[in-house]
Amino acid sequence: MTALAIETAAEGGAVRSTGFATTANGSYAARLVRDAGGSWFPERWTLDGPEPYAVPLPGNQPEEPDAGVLPMADGRVLIHRRVADRHAFALLYPTGPATGELPLGAIDAGEGELTLLPPSPDGSCAYALAAGPHGTALWLVAGGAFGPELVARVKGRCSGGAWLDRTGRMLSLDRELDGRTKAVAVDLERGGEVTELLQITEDSNDRLLLADADSGLLLIRSDAPGHDRLGWGVLGSALPVRFPECLRLADAAVTPFAIQPGQVLTPESCAVALRIDAAGGTWVGIWRPAGRHLHQLAAPQGWLAGSGLWTPEGVLRLPYVTDTTPCALLDLPAPPDPAPAPAAPPPAPAKPAAAKPVPLGQAPLTGRRPLSGDR
């Protein structure tokens, strides 16, 4: 689950959260919260015990509301602070009643934007993107030997970020170049070599939203059908990307935020959790590619909207906060899909029909080739 921009009400109506990120193994989460007095501080959630619990990690002074936090697999929390034109990083950890801090160094990115990428699969490294006027720098900001290290420079302006494997080698980024945005794959073990990942049509904007390394399931947003649609494909498959009608809701935005892990070689069976936003509020959707049906469910009060994680057994865990419950998870089993309609009898033989044009080609995700100029 990635860090998402969210806001949640708590005691006294104060805004309590600016984001929520979970480690790849689901053990820890972190967010930046504000107390009733208006001071911001990081908070770590422990999720793999009998009951979830939160540990506040306040420093010597309040944090700025734009600070970024990311949980690490060992229980520490990475914090990203903006100090003038420099971006400073440190690891925070509880030490009795106080908060320990291990400085990691800083990056001079000028006035450019720098954002933390989703937690890496190994849990011991953290990466950040610094987009500039002439390209994007990919930095290793935690887990290196000597502080922040420049890993790669990628032509174009990159955003997003999804891990394509369990080792933390292959990273997908959405790259804007020559007026189009295409998802590309960056190989961190080959000097940041960039290869094509998605190109549904030459003129379409094709972004990768989520990826599951176990099944290869990819969640994609593209305007190839004529306007932005949510679709799915399988990494390494020659089958086309599909754009299910059930994911197209009138007057509502649908955004995926978690894919069920552990479904090796069965991407169609993976349950996908979606955030649904409309004028009437925000709620949860659950969908499987094989089911072709979107289940819409009420979210718990105080849901940290757009966050959650699946267990391999198909239980969706939604974090929420209320006035009386400062740290909790609601376990939501994935509902079964409706039984398919009985198959129709085979039609009577008829003369061969004229060949029909193939529908929208929808990016075969194989045969990726390196792109020149990206190292």
What are the tens digits of pLDDT across the range 51-90?
999 999 999 899 999 999 999 999 999 999 998 889 999 9
Distance of CA 75 to the CA centre of its chain: 20
* Rounded average pLDDT over 350-361: 33
- Amino acid identity for residue 62 in this structure: P
Q: How far apart are CA 316 and CA 154, in angstroms?
A: 36
Contact between residue 303 and residue 318 where contact means Cβ atoms under 8 Å apart? yes
Category of 43 on φ-ψ map: left (φ > 0), alpha (ψ -120 to 50) or beta: beta
Confidence band, pLDDT 50/70/90 cuts, at residue 356: very low
What are the tens digits of pLDDT across the range 131-142?
887 899 999 999
Three-class secondary structure of residue 119 per DSSP: coil
The two tokens of residue 76 are: 């520490």
pTM of the model: 0.87
Q: How far apart are CA 198 and CA 362, in angstroms?
A: 9
Query: Could you tell me what percentage of the chain is helix, strand and coil, using 3-state DSSP and rounding each to the nearest 5?
Result: 0, 45, 55
Confidence band, pLDDT 50/70/90 cuts, at residue 203: very high
What are the tens digits of pLDDT across the range 5-56?
334 333 333 334 448 999 999 999 999 999 888 999 999 999 998 999 999 9
